[in-house]
Amino acid sequence: MNARLSAAPPPSVRVRAPGKVNLALRVGPVGSDGYHPLATIFQAVSLFEEVTATQAAPGSGISLTVSGPQADAVPTDETNLAWRAAALLADRTGLAADVALHITKGVPVAGGMAGGSADAAAALVACDALWEAGVPRPELVEMAAELGADVPFSLLGHTAVGTRRGDLLTPAMTRGEFHWCFGTQRLGLSTPSVFRRFDELAGPSTPDVAPAADDTELMHALRAGDAVALGEALHNDLQGPAVDLRPELAAVLDVATDSGALGVVVSGSGPTVAALGRSRQHALALGAAWTAADVVDAVWCATGPAPGTQIITSITR
């Protein structure tokens, strides 16, 4: 046997998927199905998760390893969304789920920026390519929605309006680039707990009612590439509940505002706080202000919009 051929690496595919920030997030009362209807505007940002899917020996099943910031906080069993994505794809296609997955973290963990959803989206695309399943994109999007409400947007990327549970997407026109700084906390916030607090603060309401939303000014700002107007239009219905559960977040918001941020908002269900800067340098300065005030555990700077899930490298036999 040719030694060079015998030493060839097994087939593998490396895929990158972005984190996100909710520019606007409006929440309706919990419905009869137990979910809250949402009206949201997502923007993908240049913080990425990478998932490498490598062909494993027949019968070995799925395995998962993680590296990068906060890797020790990520489960490596069947509760992980990337693992569940590989299992779902194998089940739907009838293919053997023999794959070694490796996640390289680049999105804060449990920070309301959809890092786990990015892992699921990347795993779907990686395993589809590795196994040469050829699943049409609309079917991948349907599977993504089964895995989680934010997973379809991780596939799409850029900027989009999300309705229903956030999984029904319409691309949004944008111009230019926006500069973000994200202040994160070591201790995450449970998304269900934030929604429960939202319900408690909102009081009795009529279920199955779509959230009231008027984000016209925000959409105009995106189309014009107007960062000042975008900052003024940022909105999150979950910010109050998140701050109520974690009062220290108020200081994070205040420091960014006092440092001249164009807009400041809790990202998703928190506890990450997103601050919009005038420029890349200003975004860095906002992060320095947070660090100097000792109100965050880590600072991440990024730009948006960023592309959706895409294959970076592919090694085949």
Q: CA torsion 312→106→65→310, rounded to 10°?
A: -20
- On the question of pLDDT at 311 being above 80, the answer is yes
pLDDT at 184 over 70: yes
Confirm whether 20 is a catalytic residue. Answer: yes
Residue scoring higher pLDDT (8 or 275): 275
Q: Is 277 annotated as belonging to a binding site?
A: no
28 appears as a binding residue in the annotation: no
- pLDDT tens profile 240-250: 999 999 999 99
Which structure tokens are listed for 48? 């990425």
Pairing mode, strands 99-104 and 159-164 = unpaired
pLDDT of residue 276: 98
Give the residue among 269, 236, 242 at the shortest CA–CA distance from 111: 269
For residue 210, the model assigns a pLDDT of: 60
The answer to whether the annotation marks 307 as part of a ligand binding site is no
Query: Where do the structural domains in the chain lie, given as residue ranges?
Result: 11-172, 178-304
Does 189 have pLDDT greater than 90?
no
- Is the per-residue pLDDT at 23 higher than 90? yes
Q: Is the confidence at residue 211, as pLDDT, over 80? A: no
pTM of the model: 0.91
- At position 183, the amino acid (one-letter code) is G
298 is in an annotated binding site: no
Give 1's pLDDT tier (boundaries 50, 70, 90): very low
- Out of 3.40.50.1980, 2.30.30.40, 3.30.230.10, 3.40.50.20, select the CATH number for domain 11-172: 3.30.230.10
306 annotated ligand-binding residue: no
pLDDT for the residue numbered 255: 98
167 given a catalytic annotation: no
User: Is 113 one of the annotated binding-site residues?
Assistant: yes
Residue 213: predicted pLDDT: 67
Does position 316 have pLDDT exceeding 60, yes or no? yes
| Domain boundaries 178-304, CATH class | alpha beta
Helix axes 115-130, 137-147, angle to 10 degrees: 140
Q: Please write the tens of the pLDDT for every residue from 257-275.
A: 999 999 999 998 889 999 9
Mean pLDDT over each residue of the chain, to the nearest integer: 92
212 falls in which pLDDT band (50, 70, 90)? low
* Residue from 119, 128, 150, 215 carrying the catalytic annotation: 150
pLDDT at 251 over 60: yes
